[in-house]
Structure 1
Amino acid sequence: MFHAPHGYQRAPLPPAREQEPETPLARTASATAHGYGTDAPPTPARAATPVPLPGATPAPKQRDAFFDNAKYLAIVLVAMAHMWEPVMDGSRATRALYIVVYSFHMPAFIIISGYFSRGFDLSRKKLQRLITGVAVPYVIFETAYTLFKRWADDPDQSISLLDPWYLTWFLIALFVWRLTTPVWQSLRHPLPVALAIAVLASVTPNIGDDLNLQRVLQFLPYFVLGLLLKPEHFRMVRRREVRLLAVPVVLCTLLFAYWAAPRLGLGWFYHSSASQQIGAPWWAGVVMTFALFGCSLILTACFLAWVPGRRMWFTVLGAGTLGGYLLHGFLVKGAGYANLFETYPWLSTPLGEIFVTVAIAVAVTLLCTPFVRRMFRWAMEPEMNWAFRRDPVENARQRERRSLIRAS
């Protein structure tokens, strides 16, 4: 309570609700710092907290090294699998590796995305962040990829924001998934509902290509599963016995993939078509949806079991995986448009496949660096304060802070 310059008393506005920390570790630290989760009741220390200066930079959020490591390693696997596509013909071993990686690399990334979307609601700030962090990058890179294809390969390629091309499908899918998060969190059994939707999509060939809805719906259960996970679930898969058990599981998976490589169609792993569209009966879509979901979860658990939980040299790169994902596609497609693999057929030999694997791993690592992230922040993390109305409550709170500073 203080005396305003015009002579009347005005009660201060209630303090802003603290944002949920980004990681489980940060959330625990925040709860401990404020007295929650202990036997003693929280002390009323908020009134003694100094008022921050307007425009002051807030303290950076604590990041969990485990999730940054997982995101970086997953995006490296995504890039490697994309680079294997033009060189794996005639190589049964490479095709088997491709099948194994495609079984879990995007499910793992989507599960982590769902886990970090648990706090999403339809508040003003969350919607603004969804627009600037997902929708705007989608528009920019969908346009950029289309122009790149027109310049390099197909002058008649048209720009269509309703028909995602190549890598951009993930952005529009993430936009839809995150926007529907409150719906899934309000359901009593969201995962069975999401699986039922995925099954229906896998047997419905007339869904169409708009917004790549086949992938949006068929990958939906992984996002919903991420919403349901808690920190203790990730601690379970990181136990020593799980790490040891993951070794024979992955070895058996590799052997099975080597046997199945010439027999199994790759269309199942893309989740972009109904079963009828890839030449299978409708009931195969039902079977493969549940079979791939189970296999993906097992392999994702094995992958997460091997992800280091401590800070590594690549931990800092986990914050730049969006750049690695969106930019490496220009390298992969550019190599194809330049007929690189036809000009140098040795790239399809075992030694060449190793070379392109290492090359794309190094390239995507560089694309995840803070330097590249800062360079492309205008496209991937634009501020865009000019595009949104100011929150009247926040404006009043800032005026109150300035008045308190002047009064002191």
Structure 2
Amino acid sequence: MRRARCRRRAGRTSSQRCSGLSAAQEQGTAHRTPPSGGAAQQPVPRPAQPRDAFFDNAKYLAIVLVAVGHAWEPLREGSRAATALYLLVYAFHMPAFIVVSGYFSRGFDASPARITRLLTGVVVPYVVFEVAYTLYTRWTDQAPDRPVSLLDPLYLTWFLAALFVWRLTTPLWLLLRRPLPLALVVAMLATVTPSIGNDLDLQRVLQFLPYFVLGLGLRPEHIRLVRRRAVRVAAVPVFAGALAVAYWAAPRMSAGWFLHRDSAQELGQSAWYGPVMTLALFGCSLVLVACFLSWVPGRRMWCTPLGAGTLYGYLLHGFVAQGAKAWGWYDPAWVHGPLGEITVTLVAAAVVTALCTPPVRRVFHCVVEPSPTWAFKRVPRPA
């Protein structure tokens, strides 16, 4: 037995023979720094995980479509083509943005750290931009008596109010066995309830809820499915068909269905239209979102770093969109022609891109992503 022990020892290095460490102990010290001068050995900090280029690209492209959609709105009158493009973009751009938001909200567990981040990262920007947009639109809309109301989201701020409600309810949706069917039922019931009112824009909160819940249920393998080559190829005829349907529907269908802010009765339809349109639009939007994500590049590109600043682009581009109307940018006749529509599209994309850049983010960081230390004595860290 002594010879066997000697043979086993012979396979070890001299340092291992001196230390006498077991395999588990050797693995536990693999990330320690070598001793120096008798000082205590400190663990090397783990490097931060790199951001996923695919999702940053997806967020950037989605926010560009949001800005372009707002820029197209004044061009719809008298232009069936502009209206068709508007309907097509509105059928999937906010659903895509909300699905991605839900995907990254899966870790929200209502812990003190998460609540702290929710208050500083969602509630504070909501209050700041709600007041700012109210004061700004008093001038652009010639409405000096417009009151400041934190319960009635104005313009773009509805998304922050909705995100606050959705994230607070995330632990509940994660506990349910069939959360998506229940969220669809909630959305359908909202469309037949005109008495919900404007408090926190609850119509939009409830009607867009299924997309957020869908994002909560997604896993990386689901994302890999829509990024297959077969899906990318199939997305070409799907989008072509969707554009043809949008062109047909442009003079026949109200764009209010895609905004999800009104009930069926408020859109001039019978109550039973609401649940039917909810299911139909959810199915169509889901297909278009999958096609959109299949086209999103997965590699790092020039626009990838801008994906981290999409909230800045979202909240700030509205000032330019509102100001463009007051400044008369849409008044020249040529703007409403093909050349003008292309120019408006390029300008909107360029403006929102600039608003996502690091210099702009540094300027507005204090109101979009404020540090929690100014409000909380002890800032807990997420687990």
Q: TM-score under structure 2 normalisation? A: 0.88
Provide the rounded CA distance (Å) in 2 between the counterparts of 1:46 and 1:282: 66
Q: Contact (CA 8 Å) 2:93, 2:289: kept in 1 or not?
A: yes
Match of 2:72 in 1: 84
Match of 1:214 in 2: 203
Paired-residue identity, %: 62
Instruction: Tell me the amino acid that sits aligned with residue 91 of structure 2.
Output: S
Match of 1:44 in 2: 28
Of 84, 92, 98, the residue aligned with 1:96 is 84
Provide the rounded CA distance (Å) in 2 between the counterparts of 1:42 and 1:123: 35
Of 279, 304, 307, the residue aligned with 1:318 is 307
1:151 to partner: Cα distance: 3.3
Q: Determine if the alignment matches structure 1 residue 330 to structure 2 residue 319.
A: yes
1:389 to partner: Cα distance: 3.1
Of 336, 339, 342, the residue aligned with 2:328 is 339
Of 361, 373, 377, the residue aligned with 2:349 is 361
Gaps of 5+ in 1: 1-39, 395-408
SS in 1 for 2:77: coil
1:341 to partner: Cα distance: 1.5
Instruction: Tell me the amino acid that sits aligned with residue 158 of structure 2.
Output: W
Q: Determine if the alignment matches structure 1 residue 180 to structure 2 residue 169.
A: yes
Q: How does 1:8-407 map to 2 (within 5 A)?
A: 43-45=27-29, 48=32, 51=42, 59-152=47-140, 153-342=142-331, 344-390=332-378
Number of equivalenced pairs: 350
Q: Contact (CA 8 Å) 2:31, 2:43: kept in 1 or not?
A: no
Q: Contact (CA 8 Å) 2:95, 2:211: kept in 1 or not?
A: yes
Provide the rounded CA distance (Å) in 2 between the counterparts of 1:364 and 1:47: 43
Instruction: Tell me the amino acid that sits aligned with residue 171 of structure 1.
Output: L
SS in 2 for 1:258: helix
Provide the rounded CA distance (Å) in 1 between the counterparts of 2:324 and 2:351: 13
1:44 to partner: Cα distance: 3.3
Provide the rounded CA distance (Å) in 1 between the counterparts of 2:160 and 2:49: 24
Q: Contact (CA 8 Å) 2:80, 2:247: kept in 1 or not?
A: yes
- Larger Cα Rg: Structure 1 or Structure 2? 2
Provide the rounded CA distance (Å) in 2 between the counterparts of 1:42 and 1:70: 42
Provide the rounded CA distance (Å) in 2 between the counterparts of 1:364 and 1:312: 17
1:106 to partner: Cα distance: 0.2
Q: TM-score under structure 1 normalisation? A: 0.82
1:43–1:193 CA distance, 2 compared to 1 (3 A):
farther
1:290 to partner: Cα distance: 0.1
Q: Contact (CA 8 Å) 2:124, 2:367: kept in 1 or not?
A: yes
Provide the rounded CA distance (Å) in 1 between the counterparts of 2:25 and 2:63: 43
Instruction: Tell me the amino acid that sits aligned with residue 163 of structure 2.
Output: L
Provide the rounded CA distance (Å) in 1 between the counterparts of 2:184 and 2:305: 35
RMSD of aligned alpha carbons: 2.0
1:267 to partner: Cα distance: 0.7
Provide the rounded CA distance (Å) in 1 between the counterparts of 2:228 and 2:26: 33
1:341–1:108 CA distance, 2 compared to 1 (3 A):
same
1:246–1:390 CA distance, 2 compared to 1 (3 A):
same
Regions of 4+ moved over 4 Å: 40-43, 45-53
Gaps of 5+ in 2: 1-23, 34-40
Instruction: Tell me the amino acid that sits aligned with residue 132 of structure 1.
Output: T
Provide the rounded CA distance (Å) in 2 between the counterparts of 1:109 and 1:182: 20
Q: Contact (CA 8 Å) 2:125, 2:367: kept in 1 or not?
A: yes
Provide the rounded CA distance (Å) in 2 between the counterparts of 1:254 and 1:389: 53
Q: Contact (CA 8 Å) 2:313, 2:353: kept in 1 or not?
A: yes
1:52–1:105 CA distance, 2 compared to 1 (3 A):
same
Provide the rounded CA distance (Å) in 1 between the counterparts of 2:171 and 2:29: 33
